[in-house]
Amino acid sequence: MPGGALEFLAEPLAVETALAAADTAARLRDRVAAGEKVSGPAARRALTAAAHTPRFEGRIVPRTFARKASTFLARDGIVLYDNPDAFLICAFKHDNALCEPEPGATAPRQYDCRPGCGNTVRTDTHARLLRERADELDQFAAHTPGPVSRRLRANAHRLRETAATHDSTAHPAEALT
């Protein structure tokens, strides 16, 4: 493919990614405004990013927005990515990322999210969802043979520990800003 064709294909992806990141920031703002607490090594950075990220609700996205979207996504450490599979928000900063993104990457490898990463942020909603998933795993384990059942229960235990860590380390937004 000629370079222009690749650039044309990347533009809609950058726009969609930027809009999703802005939506993640808006949801974080709404959650903390409703009184949810936040935890994680990137909590303060995420709250700052959320406070400075514009909302894009119901706006028509002009063609010129593709360049702005790429610039927005290149703001290392300030762009927020929702990772519902890991029950967290990634305040992606390339140098902190344990997911080992490619050099120059402007987004995390969400499929390779790892515990202990310096980019993680959790809210009370994430902790609740972790517990709900742990309960589901326990239900599956009750109807599964030995080794698989043990792995499911171990995963459920790990999810509950993660939620408990959030509970014990979470702070209201005012305490972090």
Question: At 73, which amino acid appears?
Answer: L
What's the pTM value of the predicted model, to 2 decimals? 0.85
Q: Which two tokens stand for residue 98?
A: 């344990």
Is 100 within the bounds of a domain? yes
How many domains does the structure of the chain reveal? 1
- Is 148 contained in some domain? no
Q: Is residue 133 part of a domain?
A: no
133 burial type by CB count under 10 A (0-12 exposed, 13-18 middle, 19+ buried): middle
What's the confidence (pLDDT) of residue 132?
98
- Is 146 among the domain residues? no
With respect to residue 96, please indicate whether it lies within any of the assigned structural domains. Answer: yes
Q: Which long-range contacts (CB under 8 A, 24 or more apart) does 167-170 make?
A: 167/127, 169/39, 169/40, 170/37, 170/38, 170/39, 170/122, 170/124, 170/127
The answer as to whether 7 is a domain residue is: yes
* pLDDT confidence of residue 72: 76
For residue 11, the model assigns a pLDDT of: 67
For residue 164, being part of any structural domain is answered with: no
| Tens digits of pLDDT across the chain (177 residues) | 444 443 444 567 778 888 888 899 999 999 999 999 999 999 999 999 999 887 776 666 667 777 777 777 777 678 999 999 999 999 999 999 999 999 988 899 999 999 999 999 999 999 999 999 999 999 999 999 999 999 999 999 999 999 999 999 999 989 887
Q: Is 90 exposed, middle or buried (0-12, 13-18, 19+ CB in 10 A)?
A: buried
Is residue 154 situated within a structural domain? no
Q: Can you give the residue range of the structural domain that contains 42?
A: 3-122+172-176
Q: Which of 63, 97, 62 is nearest to 79 (CA)?
A: 97
Q: What is the pLDDT of residue 16?
A: 83
Q: What is the pLDDT of residue 9?
A: 43
A 10 A CB-CB count for 172 gives 12
The single-letter code of the amino acid at 79 is V
pLDDT of residue 126: 98
pLDDT of residue 61: 66
pLDDT of residue 8: 41
pLDDT of amino acid 7: 44
| Coil/strand/helix, residue 97 | coil
